[in-house]
Amino acid sequence: MNIEVDKLFQQQLGEWPLAAKNFNALSEVKTKEVSVNGVHYRVQFNPARIVSSAAKVDSASIQARKCFLCATNRPIEQKGINYKQYVILLNPFPIFPRHLTIPDINHVDQKIEGRICDMLDLAKKIDDYVLFYNGPKCGASAPDHMHFQAGNKGFLCIEKDVTNLPLEKLKEYKSAKLFLLNDNPRNSLIIKGTTSEDINELFNQIYHTLPVQEGESEPMMNLIAWYDKDEWTLILLLRKKHRPNAFFAKGENKLTISPASVDLGGVFITPLEIDFNKVNEKQILEIVSEVSMSKEEIINLLKK
């Protein structure tokens, strides 16, 4: 399916001016490197992402706008590839050089329960890409419509971290193994396995142990997955907060940063140049610590 997706990119960039403009603009985005507790992060100044970073995701705002992931509301130029109950689309506001949005064909809430095997299946079908999922209060700008996203491999810093940083083995279920990555304050949980059903079962054991905040439909989390050399890697980034205090601050302390899978995966997106210029190791450390579960909280939950 990688070939089909490549053809989709060629077609869409030739026929859809908005997408072509925003993908071409990626060659001019500013980036800088930041080390946080010895873990590598990249900061990207990407003004087109203000659509997502500053999106209003309260119930009233969502009900007041048309869902941009539903087929009847998508731009007439936007074409896709149907796969099972999903459609693979170009994301017209990209972060990655190759950035996809993969919504369900039905307008159903953003919720990962029962869809891990779908995510893993897609990761295998388009194995040039990393799949990711943003929870409804964890960076998703369309929490009312179930969707995954995907970006080309080699872009997220966490891909290398999984190989280069120490892993602490926590649990095993048949072919699936659960690890804690030594990347504080992110405290990533890693599931590796060769059978999607085993990974799904191990994920479900964790999922049903996690707390659900009042008024929410599922535990707060971001997920990143890829398939390589006959093995899946699934990263669980467990959350306790949607947006950091800096997002709501005034004046010098304000940062328009709403962390999602990409940010916690090591590439912090700043849609405003003023934020790009001032964000540093201390601020990334504070933001990640504020929105992520601590190692102690994760270990105590998993003891159940």
Residue 92 has pLDDT above 60, yes or no: yes
pLDDT at 53 over 50: no
In a domain, 36, yes or no: yes
Sequence letter at residue 250? K
pTM of this prediction exceeds 0.85 = yes
Whether residue 33 contacts residue 44, with contact meaning beta carbons closer than 8 Å, is answered with: no
pLDDT in tens, 94-104: 999 999 999 99
pLDDT at 162: 96
pLDDT band (50, 70, 90) for residue 60: low
The reported pLDDT for the residue numbered 56 is 54
Are residues 119 and 225 in contact, defined by beta-carbon separation less than 8 angstroms?
A: yes
- Residue 99 belongs to a domain: no
Residue 208 in domain: yes
* Residue-range definition of the domain harbouring residue 254: 31-66+109-162+190-302
Tokens representing 56? Answer: 């209003």
The reported pLDDT for the residue numbered 213 is 87
Q: Quick check: is 183 in a domain?
A: no
Q: Which of the four pLDDT bands, split at 50, 70 and 90, describes residue 87? A: very high
Q: At 61, is the pLDDT very low, low, confident or very high (cuts 50, 70, 90)? A: low
Mean pLDDT of 7-16: 96
Distance CA(124)–CA(226), nearest Å, equals: 7
User: In the 8-state DSSP scheme, what is residue 270?
Assistant: E
Task: Give residue 216's pLDDT band: very low, low, confident or very high (50, 70, 90).
Answer: confident
pLDDT at 252 over 90: no
Residue-level pLDDT at 290: 96
How does pLDDT run across 125-135, given as a tens digit for each residue?
Answer: 999 999 999 99
Whether 94 maps to a domain, the answer reads no
Phi and psi for 109 in degrees, rounded to 5? Answer: -60, 150
pLDDT of residue 215: 80
Residue 280 gets which letter from DSSP?
-
| Contact by Cβ (8 Å): 132, 148 | yes
pLDDT at 304: 74
CATH of residue 278's domain is 3.30.428.70
Structural domains counted in the chain: 1
Structure tokens given for 37: 């507790």
> Does a structural domain hold residue 212?
yes
In a domain, 14, yes or no: no
Domain presence at residue 220: yes
Q: What pLDDT score does 55 carry? A: 47
pLDDT digits (tens, 9 = 90+) for 218-231: 999 999 999 999 99
